[in-house]
Amino acid sequence: MATERGVLVRSGVGKWAAAGATARWYDPDRHAGVLSIGIGGALPGSGLELGAAVLADPSLMADEGVDTPQEFLSLADMGFGEDAAPVRPDPASLEVLRPLVDRVGPVATVSVCSGRDDRARAIAERTGAIAEAMEGAAAGMAARRIRPDARFAEIRVISNTTGDRGKQVWDLDLALARLGVVLGPCLDALGG
């Protein structure tokens, strides 16, 4: 959808959707960069409250590999080449977006959300992430494959806790309302 500030693309949920939408729509000759926005879950120990806005620094792939009974093995651990590098926001975006969010910290991009306490703790401990989502790092990696110096940032508003699915706390309405409040100033700050 075209807007006065840019092109809003609803990618759908998941890494494949985010990477595909970014690859399909991001044109560095027409667009200043890519801002991945959406909701996410607070990981254990983060202290994030529902509705908090988080700027990912970095956006990172958290579960590319195999989860064995003994440990998590990354793609590199298994001999399948390098692990995906964390995607940092470009310095200009980091500078202008930092004052508009509640926290800046690592956000884990996952294929499977943490619906068990042990999984949520493991993601937080292994990655240092404060939140998890399903798209950011994939969108950033696609943008940087198209243009290595692409402007990129990921913003997530916390919609839920992670861990035991039956005990999770959710407030999707709050998260979406806050996302709507945060988006305009972020686009203005980015010059979109």
pLDDT single digits (tens) 146-192? 999 999 999 999 999 998 898 999 999 999 999 999 999 999 998 85
Q: Which residues contact 78 (CB under 8 A, 6 or more apart)?
A: 65, 66
In this prediction, residues 24-42 reach a mean pLDDT of 92
Whether the pLDDT of residue 5 is over 60: the answer is no
18 belongs to a structural domain: no
CA–CA gap between residue 20 and residue 113 (Å, rounded): 20
Is 23 a domain residue? no
Quick check: is 67 in a domain?
yes
Per mean pLDDT, which range of 8-17, 35-44, 55-64, 182-191 is the poorest?
Answer: 8-17
Alpha-carbon distance of 141 to 165, in angstroms, equals: 29
Concatenated DSSP letters of 51-103: T-EEEEEEEEE---EEE-SS-EEETTTTTSSPPPPPBPPPHHHHHHHGGGSSE
With respect to residue 130, please indicate whether it lies within any of the assigned structural domains.
yes
Domain count, the chain: 1
Quote the domain boundaries for residue 164.
34-190
Q: Which letter does DSSP use for residue 44 in this model?
A: T
Q: Tell whether the model's pLDDT for residue 35 goes beyond 50.
A: yes
- Interatomic CA distance for residues 133 and 111, integer angstroms: 9
The predicted structure's pLDDT at residue 76? 76
Task: Provide the pLDDT for residue 2.
Answer: 45
What CATH number is given to the structural domain containing 63? Answer: 3.40.50.1580
User: Tokens representing 37?
Assistant: 């926005």
Q: Is 98 part of a structural domain of the chain?
A: yes
Whether the Cβ atoms of residue 48 and residue 133 lie closer than 8 Å to each other: no
Residue carrying the six token digits 């690592």:
106
In a domain, 17, yes or no: no
The yes-or-no verdict on residue 59 having pLDDT over 60 is yes
pLDDT tens profile 100-132: 999 999 999 988 788 788 889 999 999 999 999
Average pLDDT of 36-56? 97
